[in-house]
Structure 1
Amino acid sequence: MKIRQILNNNVALVQRGELDLIVLSSGISFRKKVGDSLDMSEVEKTFIPDSNDVLESYSYLLSHIDQKVLDATKRIIQLVETELGEEVNDYLYLTLLDHIDYSLKRAEKNQFIVSPLTWEVRKFYPKQYELSKQALQIVFEETDIEFPESEAVSIALHLINLQESKVSIEDTVKEMKLVGDIMTIIKMHFQIQLDENSMNYNRLVTHLRYFAQRVSVGEIYQSQESELNKQIRVMYPQAYLCVQKIKRFLKQQFQKDLSEDEETYLMLHISRVTKRKESEE
């Protein structure tokens, strides 16, 4: 590999065959100049941009990043790969690096973000959330800047995207918000707080997560179980009324119609999680 451009002491743009690569390693460019050769054994991390725009963006980010931020990100990536058992791709590595760098700049101005998705992330993705809290501790150890726990949500969204690579962060956020909105409709309709530790609650959340994914891609299941639907309506009238509110919400917000099949399953899950003997009300 030949050095095409030295970005800083730790980052260089190199050419290997016809590929332009960005290589990263502590002191890799020290006492080197353009045209010198580098051996792969000297390289800790290699980024392979898929376009000139991405190459320029990555080059700028890596050439301006503080070494402490780089060290913190590397430690976080190692933690994530060990705990989740998955290799972090270049995109996540660099977006996480950029996120931490920007967060530190905000912290210097005492600007911290409280995400509206805190409840959803903590409930639906507990492992990623716990890893993100550990990530904040790593940032503190490397930079002496302490973040409130609420900042963990933003990092968790990046980790969620790692394991759900077919879904963008934006889509994941929309799906979590939809689940949270439906849970709010249920709690407001029944005027109760739900037991978040119960098996029925977790079953409902799991069902709603997959339901939200289907809504986002336009997949709504259909079936011929109209008779079962009629029976459930009679057995659980309050669950039926609650589902009608959810149905109207979906129509207003997403222009989606709730199928009879989905309606039936939602009524069953809602009746279980609310623990109401509706016939006695």
Structure 2
Amino acid sequence: MIISQILNNNVAIVKKGSNSQTRGNEIIVYSKGVAFKHKAGDTIAETEIQKTYVLDSHDKLEHFSYLLSNTTDEYLQIVTKTIEYGEKVIKKDVSDYLYLALLDHIDFAIKRLEKDQIVKSPLDWEVRKFYPDHYKIGLYAVGLIEEATGKACPNEEAVSIALHFINLQAKGSEDDSMMRMMEAVRNILSIIKYHFRLDFEEESINYIRLVTHLQYFIVRMFKNEVFASNETELNRQIRKLYPDAYSCVNKIRVYVRDTFGKDLSEDEEAYLMLHIQRVAKREEEK
């Protein structure tokens, strides 16, 4: 392999073939002290290489090259250790593209940490509940970040890191559906939040019941299962008792219809109003 560019002390771009004009045969390699042992144009033996990164496009290779040129070996080790741990947890090999995505994320996360900027993930509750193994990977990465920076890193960052592993696995229909369901729950919660102009108490029993109901509702919708017992009179009474909750449910109805092409049954509507009213009433009483 011929070194075409040294990126930092330990990382270089090499050409696998003898044709130096071919861009498609470039890969990135990690070799401890490569900058001190070699220079551009030198040949490097495969036995000297500790890690190889193969990306499927030149744009990704250039992006990764830029990141590696402007990062430290310590940050790269955080990424490498996180991915090695993640592969053991999910029992699956990941693509080299995850090194690029995770290095980009962690580099930015550490910069935010230095400025005391915390970004809360809107999928925090859902990731912890539905993807505990992936969340464990995120917590492991947070521990590495804290060790490297000497600063406390919020667990919200673990959710964001976990999402990289979830998204990587979301190529199968089951994982893709779960991501869509999580997104739907989040969007419906946002509709409720902004309709009533409230902040949820996420540890409250009423909030947990609402989220659980939404999750089952979304699952039924994805499976084309309609919950209906034709309790029209009950629905009518709840509308009269809780007109603001009914107004909110109408907004949810529009979202569901526009996004999924489905409508709410009277029973789904009634139970949604009850759950929403409980949460809104408790928040308003504070």
| 1:231 alignment counterpart | 230
Q: Which residue of 1 aligns with 2:85?
A: 79
Which one-letter code corresponds to 1:13 in the other structure? I
Return the alpha-carbon distance in structure 1 between the equivalents of residues 261 and 255 of structure 2: 12
Equivalent residue pairs, number: 256
The question of 1:263 aligning with 2:272 is answered no
Output the amino acid matched with 2:218. Answer: L
- Residue type of the alignment partner of 1:95: A
SS state of the match for residue 83, structure 1?
helix
Which letter maps to 1:205?
Q
Indicate the larger mover: 84-93 or 264-273.
264-273
Deviation string 1:66-106 (CA, Å, 9 cap, x unpaired) is 11111111111111111111212222221111111111112
Question: CA-to-partner distance for each residue in 1:105-154, whole Å, 9 max, x for gaps?
Answer: 12222222233332333333333223212211121123323212222222
Question: Conserved in 2, the CA contact under 8 Å of 1:131 and 1:156?
Answer: yes
Partner of 1:40 in structure 2? 46
Instruction: Indicate the larger mover: 156-165 or 1-10.
Output: 156-165
CA distance in 2, matches of 1:243, 1:25: 63
Residue 160 of structure 1 deviates from its aligned partner by 1.8
TM-score, normalised relative to structure 2: 0.70
Alignment CA distance shift 1:251-1:204 (3 Å): closer
C-alpha separation in 2, matches of 1:22 and 1:102: 21
Structure 1's 208 and 42: CA in aligned 2 closer, same or farther, altered over 3 A?
Answer: farther
1:155 is matched with which residue?
A: 161
Please give the secondary structure, in 2, of the residue aligned with 1:49. coil
Task: Select 2:187's aligned residue among 178, 184, 190.
Answer: 178
Counterpart among 56, 62, 71 of residue 50 in structure 1: 56
Q: Deviations over 1:151-210 (max 9, x none)?
A: 222212212212213659x9787445225447879xx9xxx94484x8x97585255268
What is the alpha-carbon distance in structure 2 between the residues aligned to residue 265 and residue 24 of structure 1?
59
Which SS does the other structure have where 1:123 is aligned?
helix
Distance change in 2, residues 1:115/1:32 (3 Å): same
> 2 CA distance for matches of 1:75 and 1:60?
21
- CA-atom RMSD, angstroms? 4.1
CA distance in 1, matches of 2:248, 2:261: 11
**1:216-253 residue CA offsets vs partner (Å, 9 max, x unmatched):** xxxx94x8x8xx84635567767899799545424258
1:251 to 247, 251, 254: 254
**Contact 1:236–1:267 (Cα < 8 Å) also in 2:** yes
Which among 123, 136, 139 is matched to residue 117 of structure 1? 123
TM-fit CA distance, 1:273: 8.6
Cα distance in 2 for partners of 1:41, 1:88 equals 23
Name the SS of the counterpart of 1:8 in structure 2: coil
Q: Please tell me whether the aligned partners of residues 25 and 43 of structure 1 are also in contact (alpha carbons under 8 angstroms).
A: yes
Question: Which runs of 5 or more residues in structure 1 are unaligned?
Answer: 215-219, 277-281
| Unmatched 5+ stretches in structure 2 | 199-203, 279-286
Is the CA contact (8 Å cut-off) linking 2:249 and 2:272 kept in structure 1? no
Q: Tell me if the contact between 1:118 and 1:150 (Cα under 8 Å) persists in the aligned partners.
A: yes
Query: Aligned pair in 2 of structure 1 residues 172, 73: CA closer, same or farther (>3 Å)?
Result: farther
1:131 paired to 2:137: yes
Query: Which residue of structure 2 lines up, in the alignment, with residue 8 of structure 1?
Result: 8
In 2, Cα distance between the equivalents of 1:87 and 1:239? 51
Normalised by the size of structure 1, how large is the TM-score? 0.71
Report % sequence identity.
34
